[in-house]
């Protein structure tokens, strides 16, 4: 009888430890998120399931073209692509991204841009003056984010968002685990 009681206690301890480890991993290292809406198409689709690496920015800072998850409101997280970094100016003119007045290729948009008809634009022109917050350059500890579906994305160009502070960023995402035929690393 005592042996059976010890076995039960061992199982209970193991389950408590496993639950505690899962809680720690979820709170501090990795978390699942589901893409909600078309703003990251064609890279990410509505209902794609991703893993967010919460740890990545505790040892580093966001880099250009990282796909990040951030707190857009108290109750809503968004997924967007980092375009502008602290100290930079960002503009789009004639469908070309300019960082500090130098053209930058966005290879993840090339296929969609090639499908456009003459005189059609994938990204409407904008400059830093059009970004909420009245900044000439992106301030320290902030990034400018855009959705890959530039015509249908609530991002840094929106009055409700503007530039995103590092404090708002949950983490970097790049691992899709659902749907199964799309499982893998997203660039």
Q: Nearest-5° angle of CA 114, CA 117, CA 123?
A: 70
Question: What does the alpha-carbon distance between residue 173 and residue 68 come to, in Å, rounded to a whole number?
Answer: 6
Per the annotation, the verdict on 153 as an active-site residue is: no
Place of tokens 């983490």: 171
Q: Which of 66, 65, 149, 147 is nearest to 107 (CA)?
A: 65
CB 67, CB 35: distance < 8 Å: no
Active-site residue, selected from the candidate residues 39, 56, 153, 156? 39
Please indicate whether residue 156 is annotated as part of the active site.
no
Residue of 56, 80, 153, 172 marked active site: 80
Can you tell me the distance from the alpha carbon of 124 to that of 92, in angstroms, rounded to the nearest whole number? 7
The residues carrying an active-site annotation are: 39, 80
């Amino acid at each position: 009888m005592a042996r059976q009681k010890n076995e039960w206690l061992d199982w209970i301890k193991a389950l408590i430890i496993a639950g505690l480890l899962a809680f720690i991993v979820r709170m501090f290292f990795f978390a699942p998120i589901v893409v909600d809406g078309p703003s990251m198409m064609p890279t990410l689709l509505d209902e794609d399931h991703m893993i967010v690496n919460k740890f990545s920015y505790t040892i580093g800072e966001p880099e250009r073209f990282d796909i990040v998850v951030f707190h857009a409101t108290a109750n809503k997280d968004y997924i967007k692509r980092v375009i502008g970094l602290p100290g930079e100016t960002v503009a789009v003119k004639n469908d070309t991204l300019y960082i500090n007045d130098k053209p930058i290729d966005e290879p993840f948009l090339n296929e969609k841009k090639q499908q456009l008809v003459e005189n059609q634009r994938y990204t409407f022109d904008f400059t830093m003056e059009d970004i909420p917050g009245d900044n000439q350059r992106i301030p320290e500890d902030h990034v400018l984010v855009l959705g890959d579906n530039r015509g249908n994305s609530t991002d840094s160009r929106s009055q409700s968002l503007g530039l995103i502070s590092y404090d708002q960023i949950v983490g970097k995402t790049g691992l899709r685990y659902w749907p199964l035929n799309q499982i893998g690393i997203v660039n």
